[in-house]
Amino acid sequence: MSNVIGLLPAGGQATRLSPLPMSKELYPLGFRTSADGRTVPKVVSHYLLEKMQRAGIAKAFFILRPGKWDIPAYYGDGALVQMRLGYLTVHVPYGVPYTLDQAYPFLQGATVAIGFPDILFQPENAYAALLERLARGGADVVLGLFPTKNFRKAGMVQFDEIGRVQQIVEKPQQTDLTYMWAIAVWSPRFTEFLHEFASGPIPETEVPIGDVIQAGINAGLRVEAEAFPDGSYLDVGTPDDLARAIRQLTPPEG
């Protein structure tokens, strides 16, 4: 699928990890081999960009709050990840939908792939699977689903046997649902829906992007799920989960 644009919302304050000496998206986790053959630190957002690039996504936007200039200073034009990267700023505090909508003028006619740059997930081919499902036609949005027991922190997804999403439940206190969504791809039709939503009345509290996707379902848009039963997802935005990620990605001594 050609003309796919990645969006990486990075407008948060990282209060759960405060204070940090850098944007949390640049926290070093594990190592990579540089172009000259050296072993160097690999930052957390690199993992997401790497998965996008492997799916054939050649360009992406970071959407930043003012002050997070260390991200463009680090990635520059994107040569580090073999992509073309751009940077937009967000100046409204109403949540991820409004952050993503800052890219609207650059998205006309494009397929969008979103991911959160403070996450780690598997499998490696997740975006390729989502884009393949979207390309079959019929869906306006395809969600990548991962098993989780931590439902109080997630957007949990109810879907039927053919993969059609019926409901997204944000951070329930109790649920029998076992899959959360963590990444997504969508068609220009949903980009227009999101823009119309973000152009509406100013909300009193932050709005999760899952609520906008649910509004799309209620309005008749088709949302499908691509589940990864053996997949994994780890948000490194809390001290406990960051410690878990460090343990997973630190090579054993000797």
Q: Are 115 and 63 in contact (CB under 8 A)?
A: no
Domain 4-249 has CATH 3.90.550.10: yes
Residues 6+ apart with CB under 8 A from 218: none
Q: How far apart are CA 206 and CA 200, in angstroms?
A: 14
Collect all residues with Cβ–Cβ distance below 8 Å to 73 and sequence separation of at least 6: none
pLDDT at 154: 92
Label residue 123 exposed, middle or buried (CB < 10 Å: 0-12, 13-18, 19+): middle
Half-sphere exposure for 239 (CA within 13 Å, toward CB)? 6
pLDDT score at 100: 97
Determine the pLDDT at residue 18: 63
Please report the pLDDT score of residue 222 as a whole number: 98
pTM of the model: 0.93
The number of angstroms, rounded, from the C-alpha of 179 to the middle of its chain's C-alpha atoms is: 16
Angle at 110 between CA 109 and CA 116, to 5 degrees: 145
Structure tokens at 48: 């997401």
Q: How far apart are CA 140 and CA 248, in angstroms?
A: 35
Tokens of 42: 């690999």
- For residue range 166-206, what is the model confidence (pLDDT) as tens digits? 999 999 999 999 999 999 999 999 999 999 999 999 888 89
- Ranges of the chain with pLDDT below 70: 1, 12-18, 251-254
Question: What integer pLDDT is reported at residue 252 of this predicted model?
Answer: 64
DSSP per residue, 104-164: GGG-TT-EEEE--TTEEEE-TTHHHHHHHHHHTSS-SEEEEEEE-S-GGGSEEEEE-TT-B
Q: How high is the pLDDT of residue 247?
A: 83
